[in-house]
Structure 1
């Protein structure tokens, strides 16, 4: 199982903390009002130097959410992100212009919400998709504990698609949830602000706990 962190802010110090704590993948945001962290992320140029510095210090995959709506996605912004060394992008399918499927220099993932019918997703690998983010918890339920109903939904999604499924911490995941998600077939857990908090100390503590849990599988 892969351990991903979604940083609450695009900051070098937070990225360094995540690296030190043993994260496998780092994800950041641009052009997004982010519900879970409460932060507003602006255009790529605002973070270019930070992104370059993180890329220089981190050899693992770097991911990015390039926008929070269909209108936010611009080809010029994607070209900048590719040139800055991002490994993959993640975006809701209903925000994703079809031309993004033709970007060969970056891996393509997508997210679904609770409004999607899991049984209708089907095979997506033929579109060049490498992973699916299961953002299927309703906004009003963010920060509540994981339930077996959630696990069943993730398991159903794993069985319905032909790419790895990653689970973001819309629920307040605990380390004891790791073996259960693993048995459900989940290939990655992405820790966001609901679990990590916003400080270097809280991020390091959360990542370290989940790192230990994953390594003990």
Structure 2
């Protein structure tokens, strides 16, 4: 059973998401939180697989709560936002979020998102990726010390990381690199392990901040 914790300061959203998730045979809601601090406490206590995290909450916002949950638990965080250009998108990704979901998403999109994130895949819509790139440029966040870590990767692993950063699926990467999907999965797993990254969303952030992928080169 896939265990989900819902963190949102609005009862309506918590209740609505909870009803949809609990109706699934393979998903169960193990708890709810009305603010970021409560979300952290319950994530540590209940050990959910996935946390649905509202980004704007009282006491502790979703970005800080995401960072704490990712630091203290193995849960994956799926951030909920009203707009795909939310000002906190970049900060939440850096904090450890595995992806974003709009609050007005369809039922099927919610279920797909929770299952994808649970499997360790990232959920970054093209609009979110563009926002991330724009923030990297605006903030000047390229970090030379991260580029040195790229030396730990093989040429093929670097190629795979570039493709991941461009938002391509394993099948698309396999076609581009002329290898099997199994080989792509191996390369991506090696990249995450060597760089100490949680998932593909973190790999996207790393690729841009290290300068491996330059905005505008996609």
Does the alignment reach a TM-score above 0.5?
no
What TM-score, normalized to structure 1? 0.34
Question: Larger % of strand: which?
Answer: 1
Question: Larger % of helix: which?
Answer: 2
What TM-score, normalized to structure 2? 0.34
Higher RCO structure, 1 or 2 (CA under 8 Å, sep 6+): 1
